[in-house]
A = this chain, B = another copy of it.
Amino acid sequence: MAAKIKDIAKALNISISTVSYALNDGPINVHEDVRVRVIETARELGYRPNRIARSLASGRTMTLGVASFVMTEWVATSSYFQGCLRGIVTEAKRMDYDILLYTHDAEDPDRLVDLMTDGRVDGLIVIAPFEGSPVLGRVAEGNVPVAVVGGNSEGWAPSFNSDNHHGIRIAIEHLVELGHTRIAHVAGEPSMKDAMERLEAFQSNLARFGLPVRQDWIIGHHFNAENSYTEALELLSKPDRPTAIVCASDDNAAGVYRAAWELGVSIPDDLSVVGYDDSPTAEVLLPRLTSVRQPLQQMGAAATVALIELLRKQQAQGRTFETELVTRQSTARPMEVRIP
């Protein structure tokens, strides 16, 4: 039978409140010698505080919920998710919180909302929620503080994003400076705000440079490598193909690399590729991937800090982070420009 504070109190013939004060070093002081004896007998009895009981009594769980709207898929494959999660874990650790990872996702929104508001967490970080999903609003109504990373909180929560328009703009400027005029796009999951903004930015920036926006050169509409591979294979095997591709994620770029490799299309000689995220994948791909860096870890960390602030002060500010282009080896002048 595990020891409880009652057992310690009994052994020492003192009250359980004193034991609690001694163990927690507050909120009320305890005579030094009493404190010492409490701690000692706690150790002797192998006492382990029950966090559930403590949470119920105190109303704080010291755990933060993390939900992705596509958890099952992302948990293993998304370098975006990984980057955010690392920032979250690092910061949560500093603040002494643990992470509750919901296994259910937005496939079943009602269920997800129930789980998120069942009292197990002090607050929630939602990663890349879908546009127009009712989940955020209902969680907020359930009085659970939320911070969002990578997506629109639709006014329900502070959100932490990077500037997608800027990110795509610098990618395209880079390609245009190199002399590219035939530029394609691998778009991301349309239900996610980041993907839509990047797509819009892609189209508007091509237009800005007077370049054609060809619908058949906008492929993908997913955030994974597999899909990009299949569609890039088709795109690149046509004679009339682009000389550069801007991808909505590094994972997408990985799919393009594979397609190019199989078709004997050389990167960057025959095809320049720009990724998005600057995730670890960008360094695994060879030639190393030129990528629009968004500071995922920072975004995850900032969301965590904001959430904890929200718990304490009832308010916190969201933030949009700057993006920058990390130029590596996957982009070069296009053939026709280079040859003369």
Shortest beta-carbon distance from A290 to chain B in Å: 15
Q: Is the CB of B52 within 8 A of A56?
A: yes
Pick the contact of A63: B119, B120, B285 (CB < 8 A). Answer: B120
Could you tell me which residues of chain A, from 107 to 151, have a CB within 8 Å of some CB in chain B? Answer: 114-115, 117-120, 141-143
How many copies of the shown chain assemble into the complex?
2
Residues of B with C-beta under 8 A to A103:
89-90, 92-93, 97-99
Q: Is the CB of A287 within 8 A of B258?
A: no
Pick the contact of A82: B75, B118, B143 (CB < 8 A). Answer: B75
Q: Is the CB of A85 within 8 A of B75?
A: yes
CA distance in complex: A285, B92 (Å): 33
Check: A212 CB closer than 8 A to any chain B CB. Answer: no
Q: Is the CB of A51 within 8 A of B118?
A: yes
Check: A55 CB closer than 8 A to any chain B CB. Answer: yes
Pick the contact of A89: B53, B75, B97 (CB < 8 A). Answer: B75
Q: Is the CB of A225 within 8 A of B89?
A: no
Residues of B with C-beta under 8 A to A77:
82, 86, 280
Check: A215 CB closer than 8 A to any chain B CB. Answer: no
Could you tell me which residues of chain A, from 249 to 287, have a CB within 8 Å of some CB in chain B? Answer: 254, 257-258, 261, 280-281, 283-287
Residues of B with C-beta under 8 A to A82:
75-77, 82
Check: A83 CB closer than 8 A to any chain B CB. Answer: yes
Check: A101 CB closer than 8 A to any chain B CB. Answer: yes
Given the known A-B contacts A52-B56, A284-B225, are A72 and B101 also in contact in the complex, defined by CB atoms under 8 Å?
no
CA distance in complex: A285, B115 (Å): 38
Given A75-B82, A93-B103: 7 more A-B contacts, CB < 8 Å: A48-B114, A48-B117, A48-B118, A48-B142, A75-B89, A261-B286, A261-B287
Residues of B with C-beta under 8 A to A102:
98-99
Residues of B with C-beta under 8 A to A291:
none
Check: A104 CB closer than 8 A to any chain B CB. Answer: yes
Given the known A-B contacts A101-B98, A118-B48, are A257 and B286 also in contact in the complex, defined by CB atoms under 8 Å?
yes
Sample 20 A-B pairs with CB under 8 A, ordered by A number.
Answer: A48-B142, A52-B55, A52-B120, A56-B56, A71-B89, A75-B82, A75-B89, A76-B280, A77-B82, A92-B103, A98-B100, A98-B102, A98-B103, A98-B120, A101-B101, A225-B280, A225-B284, A257-B284, A261-B287, A284-B285
Pick the contact of A254: B71, B258, B284 (CB < 8 A). Answer: B284
Q: Is the CB of B283 within 8 A of A120?
A: no
Q: Is the CB of B89 within 8 A of A101?
A: yes
Residues of B with C-beta under 8 A to A66:
101
Check: A2 CB closer than 8 A to any chain B CB. Answer: yes
CA distance in complex: A143, B119 (Å): 25
Residues of B with C-beta under 8 A to A258:
283-284, 286, 288
CA distance in complex: A117, B71 (Å): 26
Q: Is the CB of A100 within 8 A of B100?
A: yes
CA distance in complex: A46, B288 (Å): 53
Q: Is the CB of A72 within 8 A of B93?
A: yes
CA distance in complex: A72, B300 (Å): 14
- Which B residue's beta carbon lies closest to that of A229? B283
